[in-house]
Amino acid sequence: MFISSAYAQAASGGSTQDTLMSMLPLVLMFVVLYFVMIRPQMKRQKEHKAMIEALAKGDEVVTAGGFLAKVSKVGETYVGVELADGMEVQMQRTAVVQVLPKGTIK
Protein backbone atom coordinates (compact mmCIF):
# COMPACT_ATOMS: atom_id res chain seq x y z
CA MET A 1 0.00 0.00 0.00
CA PHE A 2 1.69 3.16 1.22
CA ILE A 3 4.87 1.46 2.43
CA SER A 4 7.09 0.20 -0.33
CA SER A 5 9.33 -2.79 0.19
CA ALA A 6 12.91 -1.99 1.10
CA TYR A 7 15.65 -4.18 -0.24
CA ALA A 8 19.05 -4.33 1.45
CA GLN A 9 22.03 -3.62 -0.68
CA ALA A 10 24.76 -6.17 -0.81
CA ALA A 11 27.38 -5.34 1.79
CA SER A 12 30.60 -4.28 0.16
CA GLY A 13 33.64 -6.01 1.58
CA GLY A 14 36.07 -3.30 2.78
CA SER A 15 39.46 -3.65 1.23
CA THR A 16 42.60 -3.87 3.33
CA GLN A 17 43.84 -0.57 1.96
CA ASP A 18 40.70 1.24 3.16
CA THR A 19 41.19 -0.22 6.64
CA LEU A 20 44.83 0.87 6.79
CA MET A 21 44.00 4.37 5.57
CA SER A 22 41.33 4.75 8.26
CA MET A 23 43.81 3.74 10.98
CA LEU A 24 46.59 6.00 9.69
CA PRO A 25 45.49 9.14 11.62
CA LEU A 26 45.38 7.17 14.88
CA VAL A 27 48.88 5.80 14.31
CA LEU A 28 50.22 9.24 13.38
CA MET A 29 48.72 10.78 16.54
CA PHE A 30 50.42 8.13 18.69
CA VAL A 31 53.78 8.71 16.99
CA VAL A 32 53.52 12.48 17.51
CA LEU A 33 52.47 11.96 21.13
CA TYR A 34 55.47 9.71 21.71
CA PHE A 35 58.00 12.18 20.30
CA VAL A 36 56.43 15.29 21.85
CA MET A 37 55.50 14.03 25.33
CA ILE A 38 56.67 10.56 26.28
CA ARG A 39 60.25 10.57 25.02
CA PRO A 40 61.28 13.94 26.56
CA GLN A 41 59.76 12.92 29.91
CA MET A 42 61.72 9.66 29.92
CA LYS A 43 64.90 11.60 29.11
CA ARG A 44 64.31 14.01 32.04
CA GLN A 45 63.71 11.06 34.38
CA LYS A 46 67.01 9.45 33.34
CA GLU A 47 68.90 12.72 33.84
CA HIS A 48 67.34 13.24 37.29
CA LYS A 49 68.16 9.68 38.33
CA ALA A 50 71.79 10.10 37.24
CA MET A 51 72.02 13.39 39.14
CA ILE A 52 70.59 11.80 42.31
CA GLU A 53 73.00 8.86 42.10
CA ALA A 54 75.96 11.22 41.65
CA LEU A 55 75.25 13.22 44.84
CA ALA A 56 78.30 13.51 47.06
CA LYS A 57 79.17 15.14 50.36
CA GLY A 58 79.78 18.87 49.90
CA ASP A 59 77.47 19.30 46.88
CA GLU A 60 75.22 22.34 46.96
CA VAL A 61 71.64 21.54 46.01
CA VAL A 62 68.16 22.99 45.61
CA THR A 63 65.43 20.96 47.32
CA ALA A 64 61.87 20.40 46.14
CA GLY A 65 60.75 22.93 48.76
CA GLY A 66 63.03 25.59 47.27
CA PHE A 67 65.70 25.52 49.98
CA LEU A 68 69.38 25.91 49.14
CA ALA A 69 71.40 23.40 51.11
CA LYS A 70 74.78 21.71 51.31
CA VAL A 71 74.92 17.90 51.40
CA SER A 72 76.54 16.70 54.63
CA LYS A 73 75.67 12.97 54.64
CA VAL A 74 74.76 10.64 51.80
CA GLY A 75 72.74 7.50 52.45
CA GLU A 76 71.05 4.99 50.20
CA THR A 77 67.59 6.60 50.28
CA TYR A 78 68.12 9.67 52.48
CA VAL A 79 70.47 12.63 52.36
CA GLY A 80 71.52 14.82 55.25
CA VAL A 81 71.60 18.46 54.19
CA GLU A 82 72.73 21.52 56.09
CA LEU A 83 70.30 24.39 55.59
CA ALA A 84 72.17 26.84 57.84
CA ASP A 85 75.16 26.67 60.16
CA GLY A 86 74.41 23.88 62.63
CA MET A 87 70.95 23.15 61.19
CA GLU A 88 70.97 19.75 59.53
CA VAL A 89 67.90 17.88 58.28
CA GLN A 90 67.33 14.51 56.66
CA MET A 91 65.41 14.34 53.40
CA GLN A 92 64.78 11.87 50.61
CA ARG A 93 67.26 11.84 47.77
CA THR A 94 64.45 12.29 45.26
CA ALA A 95 63.60 15.67 46.83
CA VAL A 96 66.79 17.12 45.35
CA VAL A 97 65.78 19.10 42.28
CA GLN A 98 69.07 20.56 41.11
CA VAL A 99 72.77 20.45 41.94
CA LEU A 100 74.28 23.92 42.00
CA PRO A 101 77.85 24.89 41.06
CA LYS A 102 80.31 24.94 43.98
CA GLY A 103 80.39 28.25 45.82
CA THR A 104 76.81 29.26 45.06
CA ILE A 105 75.83 29.17 48.73
CA LYS A 106 77.86 31.61 50.79
Residue 43 and residue 62 share a domain: no
Task: Indicate whether 6 belongs to any domain.
Answer: no
Residue 94 and residue 61 share a domain: yes
Whole-angstrom distance, CA of residue 93 vs CA of residue 9: 68
Whole-angstrom distance, CA of residue 81 vs CA of residue 57: 9
CATH number of the domain bearing residue 68: 2.30.30
Domain count, the chain: 2
Task: Indicate whether 40 belongs to any domain.
Answer: yes
Dihedral of the alpha carbons of 55, 75, 84, 64, in degrees to the nearest 10: 60
pLDDT in tens, 44-103: 999 999 999 999 999 999 999 999 999 999 999 999 999 999 999 999 999 999 999 999
Residue 80 and residue 50 share a domain: no
Cα distances (Å, whole numbers) of residue 96 to 36, 37, 55, 85, 104: 26, 23, 9, 20, 16
Residue 24 backbone dihedrals phi, psi, to 5 degrees: -60, -45
pTM higher than 0.75: no
Residue 27 and residue 63 share a domain: no
- Domain limits at 22? 15-54
